[in-house]
Chain A
């Protein structure tokens, strides 16, 4: 009796041993990591923004700008990481005295990845793709002044405008120059950049390889692999374990501690353009009343919110314009935190006992946290906040399109986007004819100085009107292995130029 149970247990135990052996075998099968540095290094970039397709006029999302702008596709001009606009595929250009005719001379000797030479016809075709009827580019509107494009010879492009457009070079920095013979742009590419697409595994990664016939300086690395993650924690673990070399933009403040005090990693803070705001629907009561908006701006301690979300990182802003825009003015003193005067203003506006409103809150960080914070702050001045959590997709239908909301939280990522306040049909419905006129006039300005003056004035006006409640500027944090250097810090408009990235041996 005592012997038989022992025999019976032999079978299970040997199966256990077999499992253990299999696990050991797997652990031994370490992957061949090509972690070598030097001029042909492979740089692994970790990102949360996988493009949905490869065409930036077909709704590919911000991820395509990160992977492709300046890397795979180039434009006539380039928006440098410091915010300056410099010539890229344009060698030289002239503007007529009336500002309505731009004559661009193209760089000589430029070849597409397919081998075709760059000609003016490609440039014309590329611009017209963005302005065409079925383009989904968010930049389509800014190119409206373009009336005609002429190509007198292969190296010259003449753009005729219907009205002056001082930001034309800036706006053209978004227009990828693509071979006009290219067929499939959703899953393939034909650009002129320093890298060509090497492979795209949907849901996982996108690889770009150095293009040997590139007309400009040779990249500092041989290949770049963008690895995509849906969870910030998984992305951080990938950096910790060496599966990626650099994270383009850290979105989880809690994770910074594990990199900050570790000599193997560099934590660098760049200049951000991402603003968090409580946008009111300025068309509807009580937010059509400037006093109410000013009162709510004074009732919220932005500094406390920023510290709660980001600790020591991030910047306070007094309007929609970040310090990197040329028309930045420090407006943090306008409607600064002052709950007592907020109460007085509310009484003046006819709401001595406050009121109730709903914030449509996107379901991802940091919006739910910010909404709860606002709920607490506004309760102190007698205003009751209901929080309605929605998905990003719903946000477009309910708020962006139908304008069916009282207030919403949203982050706006782009550089130079104050122009949205000059459009009374925009989702937040801010309509001050003076600002609309200033923004229109700024675009038709003859000089950059004049443009800057006008936009500064508009900037001050939206702050005085408390058009929205600008809570803070997100920090722009890039974390990398210490051995990896030369990456862009500011990531303007989600770009991530990778040709300068070096990996030490």
Chain B
């Protein structure tokens, strides 16, 4: 985590430009620019800036934005109320979409629709997120007028139905793209299960095809899928960056992008720090779930926890 923070810090400073520039406009004189640099601390040597940054990090203080003066942690908290539900709902929808379709594609791989699911999901993996977003907006917002094309209600989640209605297209966008790759993982995991000895044994002992698949297959097939899910959930968070831009949503992703444009280092560092933390947590959770599902993974250390 510390190494990640240091690398991040240096990479950001290698970008040409100066955070003070976001504070001045054409017409400002040299004294005003210098004053702005003093205010944000970009007149200090990089080593001094780094020491200052580490000191703040030690107190879990992410500093205040150079441009708006708002504490970064506070702003991140506000933005997470959008990005976390967006990611979670998109992820949930993707799983709901991918599990049945993936299993169907495996079980019915010799039927036309089994093949069709595979082909479409193959395509889906190659399509960029923003393109899906633009297509959905054109179809469902501009043409059909079923959903708003962008934005998030200022009242937030106090009116959950309005909020959901606003977020429907962004959620669908991420869910579609994510489910494309998930379907392929679920399909191949199911194929492994179908071809396995234990399933054949269960069938030989008199269980029906579906019964055997449900009782023995799902648990076994779930293990590799869960580890993929962990990775996918982390990448959904990244997908949210793009989607928030397309739909003008005030989330973590748009905070990151405007932070980079304005060289607002505290905001960029803060967002990346918090999202790294989230990704680690997700990985940890995926690991735990895997152990719960598969007793063989519970070694001596797992048993104690």
Contacts of A240 in B (CB 8 A): 142, 149
Bound-complex Cα distance A13 to B249 (A): 33
**Closest B-chain residue to A19, C-beta based?**
B96
Contact with B along A24-52 (1 / 0, CB 8 A): 00110111100000000000000000001
- The answer to whether A243 and B97 touch (CB under 8 A), given A134-B39, A139-B27, A397-B16, is no
Contacts of A414 in B (CB 8 A): 26-27
In the complex, identify which listed stretch (B3-11, B162-170, B223-231, B287-295) lies at the interface while the others stay far away: B162-170
Q: Which of A31, A134, A204 contacts B35 (CB 8 A)?
A: A134
Q: Kindly state whether residue A312 has any CB partner on chain B within 8 Å.
A: no
Q: Which of B154, B213, B261 contacts A393 (CB 8 A)?
A: B261
Q: Which of B272-305 contact A (CB under 8 A)?
A: none
Contacts of A289 in B (CB 8 A): none
**Closest B-chain residue to A184, C-beta based?**
B69
User: Is B246's CB under 8 angstroms from A8's CB?
Assistant: no
User: Is B150's CB under 8 angstroms from A234's CB?
Assistant: yes
User: Is B17's CB under 8 angstroms from A201's CB?
Assistant: no
Contacts of B161 in A (CB 8 A): 29
Contacts of A199 in B (CB 8 A): 154
Bound-complex Cα distance A263 to B24 (A): 42
User: Is A15's CB under 8 angstroms from B96's CB?
Assistant: yes
Contact with A along B251-283 (1 / 0, CB 8 A): 100110110011100000000000000000000
User: Is B168's CB under 8 angstroms from A26's CB?
Assistant: yes
In the complex, identify which listed stretch (B49-57, B102-110, B121-129, B232-240) lies at the interface while the others stay far away: B102-110
Q: Kindly state whether residue B79 has any CB partner on chain A within 8 Å.
A: yes
Bound-complex Cα distance A19 to B176 (A): 13
User: Is A238's CB under 8 angstroms from B149's CB?
Assistant: yes
User: Is B162's CB under 8 angstroms from A229's CB?
Assistant: no
Contacts of A229 in B (CB 8 A): 150, 248
Contacts of B103 in A (CB 8 A): 8, 11-12
Contacts of B164 in A (CB 8 A): 26, 29
Q: Kindly state whether residue A380 has any CB partner on chain B within 8 Å.
A: no
- The answer to whether A141 and B29 touch (CB under 8 A), given A18-B96, A392-B261, is yes
User: Is B96's CB under 8 angstroms from A204's CB?
Assistant: no
User: Is A201's CB under 8 angstroms from B16's CB?
Assistant: no
Bound-complex Cα distance A187 to B29 (A): 26
Interface size counted on chain A using CB atoms at 8 A: 73
A135 to chain B, nearest CB (A): 7
- The answer to whether A391 and B261 touch (CB under 8 A), given A53-B69, A233-B134, is yes
Q: Which of A201, A237, A243 contacts B250 (CB 8 A)?
A: A201
User: Is B250's CB under 8 angstroms from A136's CB?
Assistant: no
Contacts of A31 in B (CB 8 A): 148, 153, 162, 165-166
Q: Which of A374-408 contact B (CB under 8 A)?
A: 390-394, 396-398, 400-401
Q: Kindly state whether residue A497 has any CB partner on chain B within 8 Å.
A: no
User: Is B68's CB under 8 angstroms from A237's CB?
Assistant: no
Q: Which of A16, A29, A138, A203 contacts B100 (CB 8 A)?
A: A16
Q: Kindly state whether residue B141 has any CB partner on chain A within 8 Å.
A: yes
- The answer to whether A243 and B150 touch (CB under 8 A), given A8-B210, A237-B141, A396-B24, is yes
User: Is A228's CB under 8 angstroms from B248's CB?
Assistant: yes
**Closest B-chain residue to A58, C-beta based?**
B23
Q: Which of A232-267 contact B (CB under 8 A)?
A: 233-235, 237-238, 240-241, 243
User: Is A52's CB under 8 angstroms from B213's CB?
Assistant: no
B140 to chain A, nearest CB (A): 9
Contacts of B209 in A (CB 8 A): 1, 4-5, 7-8
Q: Which of B131-159 contact A (CB under 8 A)?
A: 134, 137, 141-142, 145-154
Bound-complex Cα distance A228 to B36 (A): 26
Q: Which of B4-52 contact A (CB under 8 A)?
A: 16-18, 21-30, 32-33, 35-36, 39
B90 to chain A, nearest CB (A): 13
User: Is A394's CB under 8 angstroms from B16's CB?
Assistant: yes
Q: Kindly state whether residue A186 has any CB partner on chain B within 8 Å.
A: yes
Contacts of B79 in A (CB 8 A): 203
Contacts of A203 in B (CB 8 A): 79, 249-251, 254-255, 258
B103 to chain A, nearest CB (A): 6
Q: Kindly state whether residue A210 has any CB partner on chain B within 8 Å.
A: no
Greatest chain A CB density within 10 A among B29, B141, B147, B154 is at B154
Contacts of A434 in B (CB 8 A): none
A16 to chain B, nearest CB (A): 6
Contact with A along B65-80 (1 / 0, CB 8 A): 0011110000100110
User: 30 A-B Cβ contacts within 8 A?
Assistant: A5-B108, A5-B209, A9-B107, A10-B210, A11-B210, A16-B101, A19-B97, A27-B165, A29-B162, A29-B165, A31-B162, A61-B25, A136-B23, A186-B70, A202-B250, A204-B152, A204-B154, A204-B249, A204-B250, A205-B151, A230-B254, A234-B246, A234-B247, A237-B149, A391-B16, A393-B17, A401-B30, A414-B26, A420-B26, A420-B27
Closest 4 CB pairs of A and B: A12-B100, A59-B23, A138-B27, A203-B250
Besides A23-B168, A26-B165, A230-B254, 8 other CB < 8 A contacts? Answer: A11-B214, A31-B165, A202-B75, A202-B250, A204-B248, A204-B250, A229-B248, A396-B24
